[in-house]
Amino acid sequence: MKPAPFEYRRPGTLAEAVEALAGEPNAKVLAGGQSLVPLLSMRLAAPALLVDINEIPGLDTIEIEDGGVRVGALARHAAVLASDDVRRVQPLVPMALSHVAHATIRNRGTTVGSLVHADAAAEMPVVLTLLGGSLEVEGPAGRRTIPAAELFVGPLESSVGHDEVAVSAYFPGLAPGAGVAFEEIARRHGDYALVGAAALVEGESVRVGYLSVSDVPSVVDLTGVADADLGEAALAQLEPMDDIHATAAYRAQLVRVLTGRVVRSARDFAEGAR
Amino acid sequence: MTTKLMGQKVQRVEDQRFLRGHGRYVDDVAVDPGQHTVLHAAVLRSPHAHARILDIDVSDVLDVEGVHAVYTYDDLASCSPQMAEPLPLLIPHPALTHGRTQYALAKDEVNYVGEAIAFVVADDRYLAEDAVSRIRVDYEFLTPVVGIDAARAATSLVHEDVPGNVGARMEQNVGDAPAAIAKAPHRLELDLTVERSACMPMEGRGTVARWDADINRLQLWTSTQSSTGVRAAVAVKMGLDLGQVDVITPDVGGGFGVKINHPWPEELLVPMAARALGRTVKFTEDRREHFISSAHERGQVQHIEVGFDDDGRLLGLDVEFWHDHGAYTPYGLIVPIITSTQLLGPYKPQNYRVVFESLYTNTVIVTPYRGAGRPQGCYAMERTMDAIAQYLGKDRAEVRAVNFIQPDEFPFDQGMIFQDGRELEYDSGDYPAMLEKIKDLVGWDEFPAFQQEMAEQGRQVGIGLACYVEGTGVGPYEGAHVHIETSGKVKVATGLTTQGQGHATVFAQLVADELGVKFEDVEVVTGDTRRMAYAVGTFASRAAVMSGSAIHLAAKRAKEKVLKIAAEALEADEKDLEIVDGVVSVKGSPGTSIDLGTVSVLSNPLRYAFDEKSKAATQFSIGDPGKPPVAEDDEPGLEGKDFYSPERATFASGMHAVIVETDPDTAEITILKYAVVHDCGHLINPMIVEGQIHGGVAQGIGGALYERMAYDESGQLLNASFMDFLMPYVTEVPDGIDIDHLETPSPLNPLGIKGAGEAGVIPSAAVFAAAIEDAERLSSTGLAITAMPISPSELFTLRQAAVEEVAQQPSRNPRTREDPA
């Protein structure tokens, strides 16, 4: 469990980081390293170059912008989770973050890193997708914004180019009168969820995002569905997977249970806000 | 008079060191950063479960800078002819007709994913792993045999010269069980399965070797449960005399059984390379390697037939089981023999037949894991008890009680041969008293009302009970050496090893009590062959019983010598002396005294006055000037050495009860209460015993609800990491475990003690199956839970099956239970 040899660079500016990436197609960006370092140690990933962005100033910001939250590439999960601004503007973010692994991992791991890693079993990709957020990246051609709907393209695969560095993520704020909720069921405290669900209720609109159900974050629109039918309506649009921890039938059951729970909670949230 | 320490909750002397990061494990030995004097090893392991090796090409490795050596099977004979032979089969048994062991490096064939093929030594582990990835092996694929069903079907063979994949078949009979069952008023049959898990110590395996060419001696540090065993194995395999090999076991970060198997391939390859290269060589196993190349346990399929009377009294028990022992059998039949004998628990079956087949599969080897076959046996018997109670509509505790061996029946001979080759004869116990204690502790009689109350709130709760008897402290022997230095400090050595149990504390308690010295003045060393050359090892809950007794006896001998010398020095009668806090004095005359350090000086006629003690000692005159300074029947020095060797194991016992809640929607399983009553005879340190129980229960919860080895049909282990192999965290273990003790002393040893190391883990599968079943009430016609461990997903599958069963048979409602218990 020792990584294969790699070159390591620690640029002081974003421009240097982009330049470093441009020179090596088989490069990886290192931020919090909570997913990447285990992959390196198990030799499941063997990049030729690691570009460590931890010394680039100004990337650890958490700012309120246009009624939403912009989270910099070096903002740690723990900092985002602790931010009163984030909690006020988009409470779904801390609701989901409290389920991300364990405290020690949240102290080091970054929210943007988790998005770029694009694990469909992780919390933040679903949250970004459900909220319609986006990722800002910088590459040789300059800066561009990738909407969440175009970001997660496959299992552990995002549309961030190999020559691009993610700079920040944008989570839209919660509209007045809207409600959110997040719940997940995991085997152990801090594990990846067997199934997780995030709900967003805005007026008549009811949407629910799921993690660990399929290999990309899935969001279904349940607007107008009777309460008793929510679970089945969601399942009609999902195809839960089998793995060593749960059968597809059990995951379907959890989708039924969690869908009802999060929609109810989100409605209660909206009620409380009014 | 100082308080006796036996039975006191003495704080562990180990904890400050361990908790502050000052433990010294194998990987901490020979750390010399920057000097690069230590070389590091990595192993190429088979990626295939079953294949013939056609060719191994190491040419890409040889020129890599920083790589010192690469070894394959063909290189082993250059160390010694024995090195090229298969690894030892440690415990042969006549029933093990087809025992097979692997080679230190695979010869011609690999039989599990993880089997060692090549061994690389390099400047550091990074380079060694780089080199491993450059070795190319050509394989011819053979059909893998994975799982007990495939092994029994035997459409493919693991070893082509082992027909039916059957390594051993063993049968024991007490009375005539089939006949008794045929005549019994009631009969039941059960089919049960238990899956694999593994020990998973925090520290994996590890070995460091240093060859000193100047004195032709090998020094080996290894993370083992038997340093003397490793020493003998390494000496033989390397063609050395025993006297040329020292094995030192430093702190060991957990064993739980896996480190009793030896020698592991690396325990031979590391010293081989160290001698060949003239450099210190280190191997530190990583977690993935631990999953695929150490050992697993627990996998069994069981078929049980039982006959009983109207009270639930067993009339005959006929058990057949199939034990998955993996690809090789280095540890013989210990695990299935234990299952087959310890299955009986605290009960008298009257007629018992047990037959097992120990089967080869293309998976990691199986050697003892804490409990060592007992959890499976307990599961078989306790599920049977539950099935009988359900069938008769009786209280589950009552059915157990009618089958108990009674207190006046000890010693009780079960009429079988135990794991140590001796009679399975229980020495002492009081099972009816224990049952009363566990019922009180868990609230057994009040539970139905609680269950009803919860049901009215839409909540499902259930209770389970399981009983076991555990043969502990098996022989053949253990020894101890006690040395009182001229400082008055006492140095104690025993040969068995320590993996965190707290031996340095409990053994010091025993010595302090016997010698009359301060606890702080006693220092205990374990597992160092330089200090104690004859020893067996730490397994089978034997350390306290075996080494504890030996230390007690050795301290007694040292004390005899102290009293003899002190009596002469003080011109008093030995019988009038007492030792308190390290000072020998005449009872009732405290002024007439001599401290132990001075006694130690007097014990050695060579008396250079190095220290104040020696100068002071000159005032005392002992010995007869007309005779040799050391008498014919005497030795210089103040030492005591003795061995303890019991005629048979001593049998501890226990009962566990658990209350669980199951979520009607998500099938999640929550533990509401866990209660343990335990009898290990006299307690040396109740805090340490309770710690053993806490750890065992945590491990048992893992085995019952979380852990399994997820092999696919090609023999790949799909969950070989702590991300997917679910060991319980502290968050999955109840905050409190209610513990009560019963103390029925063992008549077999001077301290009246029994082993306690494995107790916490034995009944877990049985007790959780029972409690979940009680909460779920899935079937009124038989046991619903017959496979353990059980996950929420599997519980959900059982619920669906029950719903389908009801749909097919509308007259029966599985949610209604006939059992009034």
CATH number, domain of A77, equals 3.30.465.10
What tokens were used for B374? Answer: 């007992």
CA atoms within 13 A on the CB side of B52: 5
Mean pLDDT for the stretch of residues B25-52: 89
Which residues in A lie closer than 8 A to residue B665 (C-beta atoms)?
253, 257
Q: How confident is the model at residue B625 (pLDDT cuts 50, 70, 90)?
A: confident
DSSP for residue B704? I
Does residue A165 share a domain with residue A71? yes
State the Cα torsion A45-A51-A57-A58 to the nearest 10°.
-50
CA of B40: how far to CAs of A91, A191, B67, B282, in Å?
A: 50, 34, 10, 5
* Nearest chain A CA: its distance from B364 CA (Å): 19
Which residues in B lie closer than 8 A to residue A5 (C-beta atoms)?
126, 130
Asked whether the beta carbons of B668 and B662 are under 8 A apart, the reply is yes
Helices (H), B265-373: 265-277, 287-293, 334-342
The type of residue at A146 is I
What tokens were used for B87? Answer: 């690894």
What pLDDT score was predicted for residue B3? 72
Greatest Cα pair distance, chain A, in angstroms, is 57
What pLDDT score was predicted for residue B606? 84
Number of domains making up chain A: 3
A169, β-bridge pairs: A71, A135
Chain segment B86-117, per-residue pLDDT in tens:
999 999 999 999 999 999 999 999 999 999 99
3-state secondary structure of A199: strand
Would the CB atoms of B133 and A43 count as touching at under 8 Å? yes
Would the CB atoms of B731 and A190 count as touching at under 8 Å? yes
In chain B, what percentage of residues exceed pLDDT 90?
A: 89
What tokens were used for B72? Answer: 């394959």
Does residue A167 share a domain with residue A114? yes
Chain segment B195-209, per-residue pLDDT in tens:
999 999 999 999 999
What pLDDT score was predicted for residue B815? 42
Assess B327–A contact: CB distance below 8 Å, yes or no: no
Q: How confident is the model at residue B819 (pLDDT cuts 50, 70, 90)?
A: very low
Residues 6+ apart with CB under 8 A from B670: B660, B661, B662, B663
What pLDDT score was predicted for residue B817? 40
What pLDDT score was predicted for residue B695? 95
Phi-psi region of B527 (alpha: psi -120 to 50; beta: other; left: phi over 0): left
Strand arrangement, sheet containing B245-248:
B67-71, B116-122, B38-45, B280-284, B206-212, B217-222, B245-248
Q: Does A1 map to a domain?
A: no
3-state secondary structure of A208: strand
Pairing of strands B280-284, B38-45: parallel
Beta strands, E only, B647-757: 650-662, 669-679, 738-741
3-state secondary structure of A142: strand
Asked whether the beta carbons of B267 and B672 are under 8 A apart, the reply is no
Identify the structural domains of chain B with CATH numbers, from first to last.
15-142+199-293 (3.90.1170.50), 300-474+647-808 (3.30.365.10), 478-644 (3.30.365.10)
pLDDT of B812 over the 50 cut:
no
Radius of gyration of chain A (CA): 19
Does residue A125 share a domain with residue A158? yes
What pLDDT score was predicted for residue B820? 40
Residues 6+ apart with CB under 8 A from B546: B473, B475, B477, B478, B496, B536, B644, B646
Chain segment B292-308, per-residue pLDDT in tens:
999 999 999 999 999 99
Assess B752–A contact: CB distance below 8 Å, yes or no: no
What pLDDT score was predicted for residue A53? 98
Averaged pLDDT of chain B: 94
Last residue of one domain, picked from the residues A107, A140, A171: A171
Domain containing residue A211: 179-273
Chain segment B201-246, per-residue pLDDT in tens:
999 999 999 999 999 999 999 999 999 999 999 999 999 999 999 9
Phi-psi region of B344 (alpha: psi -120 to 50; beta: other; left: phi over 0): alpha
Does residue A82 share a domain with residue A31? no
B480, β-bridge pairs: B494, B642
What pLDDT score was predicted for residue B804? 85
Q: What share of chain B is helix, strand, coil (3-state, %, to 5)?
A: 30, 25, 45
Beta strands, E only, B213-253: 217-222, 245-248
Chain segment B410-454, per-residue pLDDT in tens:
999 999 999 888 899 999 999 999 999 999 999 999 999 999 999
Last residue of one domain, picked from the residues A111, A143, A171: A171
Would the CB atoms of B126 and A43 count as touching at under 8 Å? no
The label of the residue with tokens 């080895």 reads B709
Q: Does A57 map to a domain?
A: no
Rounded Cα distance between B190 and B783, Å, is 8
Last residue of one domain, picked from the residues A116, A148, A171: A171
Does residue A157 share a domain with residue A118? yes
Mean pLDDT for the stretch of residues B335-357: 97
3-state secondary structure of A170: strand
Rounded Cα distance between A62 and A82, Å, is 11
Does residue A240 share a domain with residue A159? no
Rounded Cα distance between B116 and B97, Å, is 25
Which residues in A lie closer than 8 A to residue B667 (C-beta atoms)?
250, 253
Mean pLDDT for the stretch of residues A231-255: 96
Q: How confident is the model at residue B574 (pLDDT cuts 50, 70, 90)?
A: very high
pTM, entire model:
0.95
Which of A189, A190, A246 has the CB atom closest to B793's CB atom?
A246
Assess B130–A contact: CB distance below 8 Å, yes or no: yes
Does residue A188 share a domain with residue A155? no
Does residue A74 share a domain with residue A48? no
Q: Does A79 map to a domain?
A: yes
What pLDDT score was predicted for residue B221? 97
Between B340 and B806, name the one with better pLDDT.
B340
State the Cα torsion A57-A58-A59-A60 to the nearest 10°.
100
The label of the residue with tokens 């063997």 reads A46
Pairing of strands B51-57, B650-662: unpaired
Q: How confident is the model at residue B590 (pLDDT cuts 50, 70, 90)?
A: confident
Does residue A132 share a domain with residue A44? no
Rounded Cα distance between B800 and B735, Å, is 32
Kind plus residue range of the DSSP H or E element containing A193: strand A193-202
Chain segment B703-735, per-residue pLDDT in tens:
999 999 999 999 999 999 999 999 999 999 998
Mean pLDDT for the stretch of residues A18-34: 96
CB under 8 A, 24+ apart: contacts of B171-174: B171/B353, B171/B354, B171/B355, B172/B340, B172/B341, B172/B352, B172/B353, B172/B354, B172/B355, B172/B416, B172/B417, B173/B352, B173/B353, B174/B349, B174/B351, B174/B352, B174/B353, B174/B414, B174/B415, B174/B416
Does residue A78 share a domain with residue A103? yes
Radius of gyration of chain B (CA): 29
* Nearest chain A CA: its distance from B396 CA (Å): 30
Which of A1, A192, A253 has the CB atom closest to B287's CB atom?
A1
For the stretch B749-785, what's the b/e string if a residue is b when 16 or more beta carbons lie within 10 angstroms of its beta carbon? bebbbbbbbbbbbbbbbbbbbbbbbbbbbbbeeebbb
Mean pLDDT for the stretch of residues A70-81: 98
Strand arrangement, sheet containing A134-139:
A62-65, A68-72, A165-171, A134-139, A142-147
Q: How confident is the model at residue B170 (pLDDT cuts 50, 70, 90)?
A: very high
Strand arrangement, sheet containing A218-221:
A179-186, A193-202, A205-211, A218-221
Q: Does A2 map to a domain?
A: no
Assess B123–A contact: CB distance below 8 Å, yes or no: no
Beta strands, E only, B50-165: 51-57, 67-71, 109-110, 116-122, 136-141
Residues 6+ apart with CB under 8 A from B634: none
Q: Does A128 map to a domain?
A: yes
DSSP B410-468: -SEEEEEE-TTSSEEEE----HHHHHHHHHHHHTTTTHHHHHHHHHHTT-EEEEEEEEE
Task: Compute the Cα dihedral for B366, B369, B372, B378 and give only its sign.
Answer: negative
Backbone angles phi, psi at A14, to 5 degrees: -65, -40
Does residue A185 share a domain with residue A236? yes
DSSP for residue A195? E
DSSP for residue B297? B
Rounded Cα distance between A229 and B764, Å, is 40
Assess B619–A contact: CB distance below 8 Å, yes or no: no
Q: Does A192 map to a domain?
A: yes
CATH (domain of A39)? 3.30.43.10
Task: Compute the Cα dihedral for A261, A266, A267, A269 and give only its sign.
Answer: positive
Rounded Cα distance between B386 and B783, Å, is 8
Rounded Cα distance between B122 and B68, Å, is 5
* Nearest chain B CA: its distance from A251 CA (Å): 8
Rounded Cα distance between B22 and B363, Å, is 37
Rounded Cα distance between B477 and A97, Å, is 56
Assess B635–A contact: CB distance below 8 Å, yes or no: no
Asked whether the beta carbons of B355 and B170 are under 8 A apart, the reply is yes
Asked whether the beta carbons of B437 and B677 are under 8 A apart, the reply is yes
Between B37 and B34, name the one with better pLDDT.
B37
* Nearest chain A CA: its distance from B45 CA (Å): 13
Does residue A69 share a domain with residue A124? yes
